[in-house]
Amino acid sequence: MASTKSWTHEIESPAAAPRLFRASVMDWHTLAPKLVPQIVASAHAVEGEGGVGSVRQFNFTSAMPFNLMKERLEFLDADKCECKSTLIEGGGISTGIETATSHIKVEWAANGGSVVKVESTYKLLPGVEVQDEITKAKGYVTAIFKAIEAYLIANPDAYN
């Protein structure tokens, strides 16, 4: 029987927590194809207006090991820069992963920037191992947040 596992990852950024959260979580489906076109080919809202229960789909390039990912927003506290989502289609669901959730929290750092805290919890299908994939996932997460950070630095009026 497969057990539930998780990994965590932290990324420091000079960007203010609310700006980074709005760009990376609330508007990521709009920004992703522009900021990381080598990873995200396109993205769009499938259901909802961005609140709890909303579903977004991300379509990936050949850089990713899967073509698409649909996620449902389960929890959102924009004031505290925190959200949780569940992977509902693609992203390895049914081929290696039974279930997967992500928890993202962007906190203020002492230097005026922020710290992004990501926790991914997943249940693998029997016989599946993912150590290399975890390392890759952390790399993708870091690349995504650094792309957003660069965008926010280059566009100081965005997401204020």
pLDDT in tens, the chain (160 residues): 567 889 999 999 999 999 999 999 999 999 999 999 998 999 999 999 999 999 999 999 998 888 999 999 999 999 999 999 999 998 887 788 899 999 999 999 999 999 999 999 999 888 887 777 888 888 888 988 999 999 999 999 999 9
63-93 residues labelled b (16+ CB within 10 A) or e (exposed): ebeeeebbbbbeebeeeebbbbbbbbebbbb
Write down the pLDDT at residue 134. Answer: 82
How much is the pTM? 0.90
**Which of 24, 18, 10 minimizes the C-alpha distance to 112?**
18
Inter-residue long-range contacts of 90-95, CB under 8 Å, 24+ positions, other chains counted: 90/57, 90/66, 91/66, 92/65, 92/66, 92/133, 94/125, 95/66, 95/125
Write down the pLDDT at residue 137. Answer: 84
CATH class of 2-154: alpha beta
Q: Residue 142 carries which side chain, given as an amino acid letter?
A: T
CB distance 152 to 22 below 8 Å: no
Specify the 3-state DSSP secondary structure of 111. coil
Rounded CA separation 87/63 (Å): 19
Within 61-148, strands assigned E span 68-77, 82-90, 97-108, 114-124
Residue 50: alpha-carbon gap to chain centroid: 14
Residue 137: alpha-carbon gap to chain centroid: 10
**Which of 112, 114, 25 minimizes the C-alpha distance to 73?**
25
Domain boundaries, the chain: 2-154
Write down the pLDDT at residue 2. Answer: 62
What the block records as the tokens of 20 is 């980074």
Rounded CA separation 76/104 (Å): 10
